[in-house]
Each structure stands twice: as structure tokens, then as C-alpha cells.
Amino acid sequence: MKYAVCRSIRAGTVYVWNLGRRRFICRPVRVEHGLYGSTDTVLAHNFKLYIFTDRSTMSSVEAPQCRFQTLLVYDLIKRSYVRRQTGIAVIPCPQHEYRLLEDGRTLLGLSETRDHLILWDLDFGSIKHEIKASHRELTLCSSTIRDLQPDVTARRDTTLMPWDVRTESQSAKKKRLEKKAQREREAKWRLDREKYNSIEQYVLSGDEQVAVCSYFAHHLNVFSMVSQEHLHTLEDKSSLLSLHTAALTYTGSHVVLTNYNQDQRTPYITLWDLHTGTVKKKLRNEAGVCCVAITDSADRVVFGVTGSNRLKVWDPFRRNYRSICGYGNLTIEVSSELYMTEGGTRAILLSGQLSLWDLEACSVLSVLSLDARVRCMKLLRGCETSILLGLSHSPTLISARSTCSHPVSSATRAPKDEDLFGESSSSEEEDS
């Protein structure tokens, strides 16, 4: 028996859906209204809603600080609040930047200045750990600062021809080399300063053991959620590294992302090994990549390119690369979502329509056309060919399962004690 807990775009409304009973395919088994306000943050875990509320401005010498001061825990099965904790001080973040860990006992979020990750202990309402990058403090002496000031009298550098170099005077050569050295110092200084940028985005591995953070910079940081340590800094001096088009393996062993090499003027797809902090493989000249997925073993990467109707498959360790043509009206866009299932043999693409692809046979297996825009999509792990779709105009939840996969028997009825929301009754017929 599986359930789905869904938040409505209407503040305070929560739906619970039974995904294993056909009788409830069109209606939720539990609907709750008015549980929280539009300024609150709510997270769901194990049929409980964790509601962070009571925002207040705390006085500070430097600047006022906004905090959530109260945690409410609502049990969807009991239909009652089971806990109210005051005196906490949780820093507000965008909804998607919070994660509940350790069976709801720990909250992951960002610091107020967004320069490090914070773990809050929800049992006591206090900060449990602060996970920071292990960079040394950057100290600039006055002479270094003076050296880095722009030369307002300097002209744009011109390319010297071989005969210009041969006839160059010693004083001109010395001045040219000094300018070159200054440019190198400035470039190094800028890269060093990037280490102190704010966190722009972070991703968490499926097993919640590894986090990767980006900073609008030429580097990424890798952190262990188990030891709360900074593991590696992934750095590419020629490319800005972002997580906007990236995928992390379930265990956090590898990350694949897109980057543009500014020196070579070439786009890449790069596979990083997060155990060693080094580049594992690169795929050159892949521009416009807008969605990407990776297998748990990192032996296959599949991606789509903006404006195309093809999926591309890259097996980095076997040096295998191929392109699969899609159906007629397919156009892959920046908003497209892509997942791999069944060990990397199949892919699910949401791009206007929902399509299932056979990556081994290089073909499209099926296409599902939808009458409304899909607002959110969730792949059910452990039942890999099942997905949940939330629509933008309706509280209806769509559960889709591939008919090309191994069939799941629906004749076997789940025990009554698994009907957590009173779905069963003696007068009802068995699901067929």
C-alpha cells in the first residue's frame, strides 16, 4: 500500500491519495484545509506535516533578522496536532531549500548569508551543526590591494607579431611581462574571492548522504551529511560551474553537469567523481543541453537539447554515444524533465507530453498526451516505471505506470490494517 501526500497551491490545503486502490483513483482519501498560512513553510514526512510558523523580526545591532519561532507537527492519520514547540530560531529559506532528515528529527537549510549549510535539531529547536567550506581566510595586504587596482592609463592589449617581439626593447619587454603577471594575479585573486560567494543552489543525493553546492563561480563544493565535513572542491578555472542542468547519482558518488569552457569556447558535459573530486569523463561540443539524467552507477547519461526532438545517450566508460529520434511534435524545452529507469535501459521524458523511451532499442515506446499543463512530476523509487503527475488547474493527482514493464498484480488485496485512512469497510467489494 502506497500513499502520496500533496500540498495544494492554495495555502493550507493538503491532500492524501491512495495509490494502490482503484476505488480511490479519482478522489483523495483525506483532505485538510486551513492548516497553515501563506507565510508559513510546511514539509511532509511519514504522514506528518512539519509547519514552521510565527515569523518575527529579531533585533540586531547590524540588521533585523527574521526567524520562524514555532514548529507545529500535524498528524494526518490522527487528524490532530501532536506537537507544538516554541523558542526555535529557523532561518527562512525558499520552500525547496529545506529538507527533513533523520526521520524528521533534523532540518537542513541555509544560513542567513547563504554562505553555509545548517542542520537544526528539531527535538530541541537549536542548531545541531553548521557545515562550512574549509577555505582559509583570505587576507589581502595593502600592497596586494594596490597591485590589483586597475590601471586607468593602460590601453587595450594588442597581439604582438613575431617581428615585433624580435625588435622589442628591453624596457618594453619588461613592461609587457609586468602587465602579463598582473593579469595573472588578478585572475587568481578573482578565483580566490569566488570561494566566498553565497550559495546559489545545492542538490542532495537520494540517500541524503552527500550535498553539492554551487556559488555562481568556477567551483563547486562537496559536503558529507554524515560527518558534516567539506569533502572536495571541484574547480575548473576556464568554466563557470552550475547545477541548473545537472544530475547526481543516488549515493552521491558522481555528478554530471554542463559547462562552457571560456578559453576553448566549447560546451561540455562533464562527469565528476565525487569520491576523489576529479573529472572522470568529458563529452565535447554538446550545446543547448537543458535536461539530463544519470544512472546510479554513473555508467550511462541521457540528455536532451533545447529545440530538438531527440534524446542523446552517452555511456562514458564504454565510449559509446548515440542519438535517438523522437516523435513528430516533440520539442524539448528548458522546462523539460528527464528520468532514467530500469537500470538505465529506459527513460521517461516530460516535455509537453509524457513519453517512454527504450534506450537499448533506440525507440519511443509510448506517448501520453495531457489536456493540462503538468505542475510537478515525481518518479516513485522502488517502482521505477510509476510516476505521479500534479496538474496546474486541478487538485487531481495522476498516477501513470508503463504497460511495457513487468505487470504488477492488483488482485492481491492489501491487509486492512494498511488502509491507514479508513478506506476499507465490510460492505465494500474487493478491488479487482
Cβ contact 112:101 at 8 Å: no
**Percent share of the chain, pLDDT over 90:** 60
Distance CA 31, CA 366 (A): 33
Q: Is the pLDDT of residue 8 over 70?
A: yes
Query: What is the overall mean pLDDT for the chain?
Result: 85
pLDDT recorded at residue 333: 93
More confident call, 393 vs 328: 328
Those residues whose C-beta lies under 8 Å from the C-beta of residue 184, and which sit 6 or more positions away, are none
CA 75 from centroid of its chain's CA atoms: 28
pLDDT recorded at residue 387: 87
Cβ contact 109:85 at 8 Å: no
Q: What is the mean pLDDT of residues 310-314?
A: 96
- Side chain identity, residue 79: R
pLDDT band at residue 174 using 50, 70 and 90 as cut-offs: confident
Q: How many CB atoms lie within 10 A of CB 224?
A: 16
pLDDT recorded at residue 135: 67
Report pLDDT digits (tens) over 234-246. Answer: 999 999 999 999 9
pLDDT band at residue 153 using 50, 70 and 90 as cut-offs: very low
Cβ contact 69:55 at 8 Å: yes
Q: Among positive and negative, which fits the CA dihedral 79, 85, 86, 88?
A: negative
Those residues whose C-beta lies under 8 Å from the C-beta of residue 362, and which sit 6 or more positions away, are 313, 322, 324
pLDDT recorded at residue 37: 93
Cβ contact 51:35 at 8 Å: yes
Burial 144-155 (b: 16+ CB within 10 A, else e): eeeeeeeeeeee
- Side chain identity, residue 125: G
More confident call, 373 vs 159: 373
pLDDT recorded at residue 177: 84
Residue 117 parent element (H or E)? strand 117-121
Those residues whose C-beta lies under 8 Å from the C-beta of residue 209, and which sit 6 or more positions away, are 224, 225, 226, 251, 252
Report pLDDT digits (tens) over 92-113. Answer: 999 999 999 999 999 999 999 9
Q: How many CB atoms lie within 10 A of CB 351?
A: 19
First and final C-alpha spacing in the chain: 15
Place of cell 569566488: 194
Edge-to-edge strands, sheet with 254-261: 246-248, 254-261, 266-273, 278-284
Report pLDDT digits (tens) over 317-353. Answer: 998 999 999 998 999 999 999 999 988 999 999 998 9
Supply the DSSP symbol for 407: -
pLDDT band at residue 371 using 50, 70 and 90 as cut-offs: confident
Report pLDDT digits (tens) over 248-300. Answer: 999 999 999 999 999 999 999 999 999 999 999 999 999 999 999 999 999 99
pLDDT band at residue 146 using 50, 70 and 90 as cut-offs: very low
Take residue 9 and report the three cell numbers written for it.
497551491
Q: Is the pLDDT of residue 88 over 70?
A: yes
Q: What is the mean pLDDT of residues 393-408?
A: 70
Report pLDDT digits (tens) over 55-67. Answer: 876 555 444 578 8
Closest CA to 99 of 211, 2, 10: 211
pLDDT recorded at residue 423: 77
pLDDT recorded at residue 412: 39
pLDDT recorded at residue 394: 77
pLDDT recorded at residue 404: 60
128: left (phi over 0), alpha (psi -120 to 50) or beta: alpha
DSSP letter string over 258-326? EEEETTTTEEEEEEEETTTTEEEEEEES---EEEEEE-TTSS-EEEEETT-SEEEEEETTTTEEEEEE-
More confident call, 362 vs 415: 362
pLDDT band at residue 140 using 50, 70 and 90 as cut-offs: very low
Distance CA 53, CA 70 (A): 5
Report pLDDT digits (tens) over 203-228. Answer: 999 999 999 999 999 999 999 999 99
Q: What is the mean pLDDT of residues 157-181?
A: 77
pLDDT recorded at residue 155: 47
